[in-house]
Amino acid sequence: MKRILANAVLLGVLLSISNLQAAEKQFEAGRILTVEKKFHERVLYYLVNTPVTQDDPYYEISLQLGDTVYWTEFTPRHAADELPDGWQEEAEVQIKVVDKHHILVKQQGGTAIQLLLVKTTPGTAQSTAPKAPSKN
């Protein structure tokens, strides 16, 4: 009887500990610092030792979350696709760091888009300060 009771208590403790470690990160408020449209050059085939290439568009987006700047890439499904509405510089977005290589950014409709994390840098005073208008 004591052994059954001890096993039940041990099982209850193990289950409660596993639930504590399974806490999922939530979306946090962040902002888009920069958005640049760039191209990856891809070789389609060779014609008499000359490569025939195609430019595949992608967007390089820097996101600030707290005092960290995340440099990410967003590759649209089709070459003619654009960025989601509201994704421009200085826009407020909801960000969730999934792992070492991926970030989720929540759209206005509630769906999240996965971005490829390229580089992480500490935030600077320049990136956290609002931009002053230039005097010309």
Residue 135 has pLDDT above 80, yes or no: no
- Rounded to whole angstroms, how far apart are CA atoms 43 and 52? 6
Higher pLDDT, 25 or 43: 43
CA distances (Å), 13 to each of 7, 10, 19, 22, in order?
10, 5, 10, 15
Task: Give residues with Cβ within 8 angstroms of 46, minimum separation 6.
Answer: 52
Question: What would the DSSP string read from start to end of 85-112?
Answer: TT-STT-EEEEEE-SSSEEEEE-TTS-E
Unique residue bearing structure tokens 């820097």? 62
Domain contains 60: yes
On whether residue 12 sits in a domain, the answer given is no
CA distance 72 to 132: 26
Any domain includes 119: yes
pLDDT tens-digit readout, 37-73: 999 999 999 999 999 999 999 999 999 988 999 999 9
Residue 54 lies in a domain: yes
Structural domain includes residue 65: yes
- Is residue 81 domain-resident? yes
The residue segments making up the domain with residue 42 are: 28-128
Q: Which residue has the higher pLDDT, 77 or 12?
A: 77
- Domains contained in the chain, number: 1
How far, in Å, CA of 135 to CA of 53, rounded? 44
Q: Is residue 5 part of a domain?
A: no
Is the residue at 14 inside a domain?
no
Mean pLDDT taken over the chain: 82
Whole-prediction pTM: 0.69
